[in-house]
Structure 1
Amino acid sequence: MTRGPRPDIETFAGDLFGEMVLADSAAAAAARAERKPLSRFVPGLAICAIAGAAAAWLSQNYGVPVILAGLLVGLAMGFAAGDPRTHEGLDAVSRHGLRAGIVLLGFQVTAMQVMAMGLVPFAGLALVMLAALLAALAAARATGQSPAIGLLGGGATAICGASAALALYGVIGRERVDQAQFTLTLVILAAASAIALVTYPPLARMLAFSDAQAGFLTGAAIHDVAQAIGAGFAVSDSAGAQATVVKLTRVALLAPLVTLAALWIARVQPLPAGVGKARVPMLPGFILAFLAMVAVNSLVALPADVAGWALTASKTLLLLAVTATAMRTRTELLLGLGWRAVMPVLAATVASLAAALAFARWAI
């Protein structure tokens, strides 16, 4: 006589199969729930684009530095960030936009430009950058602020202003420097560059600097790329060419500085256990991409239009990233930072000017 399956085994198998089906259905439902529509980014992207367009218009028609205009317009429109629907779009622009903008800067630099500067100016540039970093760190310590704040202000001053600040902030992290402090750093950097653009060319003429000396001064001591090069050409075409090489060499040094900064800050100011351990890679991905763009630009003769389009796209993305960051900053926290918060950038600016003046006077 053949026996049928035992009822308890059948029941168990049926229950197990049912649980598996339910589990699969639940997992599929969770996956569908996690696939949020891309439309969630639209409100933040739209308000950021409007603010960025307003900043670009102010810059074009009134001569306001575009980064400074973006910061001010973003702060003025901070009320829009009070709507939770804008948060995801603004956060995406401030994070991914800045990385893409920095990567595209790689199309402005070649290895040949760096080597063409020569050993003596390169050594002087290294001294100017080191002076800016040390001065900012010393100012941060003297005013009771963290090493991360000094590193942010000094590194941004030493390399290329807002672009370097955005790159450094990506590896320093919000856990070490809050968004209000970061925004204030960007404001001071933009203001310092605007003042330098107006004052450094007359200073070079007053000191009777040669074109090579004036080009080194403006290229080594002014933060923003466009303003550093513009100040050089305000002296002469030859000084402008020298300033371009010096300034682009500083931009090329963005990758090693950010990498060293990531390693140093992780040692000097470690995060609490379990917080942000994956934020400090040895080589951040966007810096690797930046180096790849420099390599491509060095090995392949790209059409001039490509470099122009890349520069325009980079400026646009960085403007949007700065504007979004400013919009997400609470103004009351910004106002509450006090005078100590501006000291690292001011100290770095003064130190870089003094070092550049001394080197241009005595070594070039």
Structure 2
Amino acid sequence: MSRQSDSFYSGDLFGELHQADAEPVRPRLADYLPGLIVCGVASLAAAWLAEHYGFPIILLGLLIGLAMSFVSTIEITAAGLDFASRHFLRAGIVLLGLQVTFAQVAALGWLAFAGLLVVMVSAFAAAILAARWVGEGQESGILAGGATAICGASAALALYGVIGRDRLDQARFSVALVGVALASAIAMSAYPAIAQAIGMSDKQAGFLIGASVHDAAQAIGGAYSYSDAAGADATVVKLARVAMLGPIVALVALWLGRGQGGAGSAWRKVAMPWFIAGFFVLLAINSLMSFPEAVTGPALALSKALLLLAVVATAMRSQLGLLVDAGWRALVPMGAASVVSFVVALAIAWVAVA
């Protein structure tokens, strides 16, 4: 294996590859294998550690991927890592559509759903304002706000798919992923304890945890640690947040697209990414017909595996020097969004949830 020359490959999260002095050559199947194997082994290590030590699997995948970032400097891994970070990400987002239905969103009731929207808008606003305050730009705020408001790392990956490396460098994206994983892990343990300390009812605790913990599995797990009734309510609230992934990513794509001019850009301004369209299609099908657990269970497991592989590949392709350069400011939007979403969800749960 030889080290990659300075002029060979350069790529972003979505795997666009360029060669400076030659026509691009489509990789063969064998060209993908080294990168995919390395990414797969690292993902299996993260899964094993998560199962045996109880750490969040996405956080472990990020840390292992960052520790192995030197792998991306080896030429033969480039195609596989690019493929994983691009295609596995999008396929995993599409499969999330099988985990929620419109009926589950409607089951919240208009008052609780309105409160949930207030929490989500507050998280976005706090992240964008905090990003501007520390000079990180609105894209950092959008990424942090979306990850906090919707479903953690999955939402961050989907949003970065429409933000792009030209607007937000990959180092800051990796920092945001680390931040949302850490915040979600802390919230899973802290929020049920806070709800218990202030004497919340099961329904109030379910809303609080479901509306403010970022990662879906940690939100539901944290609520069930409070009580079975709180877990059931938190599941509905959290799935309603997941259902908002498609509309929010589509709106972000439209918003950012307004800044792109030139001939032929009109369609790009209104068209949502294909993987979000796929998410909507599966959500609609799942709402019209009931899939058995034998289908939805493996689909969820496959979605988690694909997203883990995408996170690991992205982390491997990050340059640690750029992560250091990003500094503490890159974490401020995520921290602001997390604090504000918790405070607003707590207030709504205390006042408006019976």
TM-score by length of 1: 0.88
Do the aligned partners of residues 80 and 272 (structure 1) sit closer, same or farther apart at CA in structure 2, a change above 3 Å counting? Answer: farther
Do the aligned partners of residues 316 and 277 (structure 1) sit closer, same or farther apart at CA in structure 2, a change above 3 Å counting? Answer: farther
Shift, 1:36, TM fit:
3.8
Shift, 1:84, TM fit:
1.4
Aligned-pair Cα RMSD in Å: 1.7
Shift, 1:194, TM fit:
0.3
Look up the match of 1:187: 178
Look up the match of 2:143: 152
Shift, 1:44, TM fit:
0.7
1:46 maps onto 2:37 in alignment? yes
Measured in 2, the distance between the counterparts of 1:73 and 1:303 equals 35
1:337 maps onto 2:326 in alignment? yes
Higher Rg:
1
Equivalent of residue 65 in structure 1, options 56, 61, 74: 56
Look up the match of 1:237: 228
**Equivalent pair of 1:101/1:314 in contact (CA under 8 Å):** yes
Look up the match of 1:284: 273
Residues 25-40 of structure 1: matches in 2 within 5 Å? 34=25, 36-40=27-31
Residues 12-161 of structure 1: matches in 2 within 5 Å? 34=25, 36-161=27-152
Shift, 1:266, TM fit:
2.8
Secondary structure at the counterpart of residue 79 of structure 2: helix
1:259 maps onto 2:247 in alignment? no
Q: How many residues align?
A: 330
Shift, 1:282, TM fit:
2.4
More displaced, 249-258 or 144-153?
144-153
What are the Cα deviations for residues 66-105 of structure 1, in whole angstroms up to 9, with x where unaligned? 0000000000111111101111110111011111001111
Equivalent of residue 305 in structure 1, options 291, 294, 298: 294
Shift, 1:263, TM fit:
1.4
Measured in 2, the distance between the counterparts of 1:215 and 1:277 equals 43
Measured in 2, the distance between the counterparts of 1:333 and 1:227 equals 30
Look up the match of 1:325: 314
Look up the match of 2:11: none
Look up the match of 2:213: 222
Look up the match of 1:360: 349
Measured in 2, the distance between the counterparts of 1:142 and 1:171 equals 23
Do the aligned partners of residues 326 and 280 (structure 1) sit closer, same or farther apart at CA in structure 2, a change above 3 Å counting? Answer: farther
Residues 196-207 of structure 1: matches in 2 within 5 Å? 196-207=187-198
One-letter code of the match for 2:343?
Answer: A
**Equivalent pair of 1:184/1:342 in contact (CA under 8 Å):** yes
TM-score by length of 2: 0.90
Look up the match of 1:173: 164
More displaced, 318-327 or 297-306?
297-306
Measured in 1, the distance between the counterparts of 2:305 and 2:283 equals 20
Measured in 1, the distance between the counterparts of 2:68 and 2:267 equals 33
Secondary structure at the counterpart of residue 326 of structure 2: coil
Look up the match of 1:3: none
Shift, 1:279, TM fit:
6.9
Shift, 1:299, TM fit:
1.2
**Equivalent pair of 1:103/1:287 in contact (CA under 8 Å):** yes
One-letter code of the match for 1:353?
Answer: F
Measured in 1, the distance between the counterparts of 2:65 and 2:88 equals 15
Unaligned segments of structure 1, at least 5 residues: 1-32
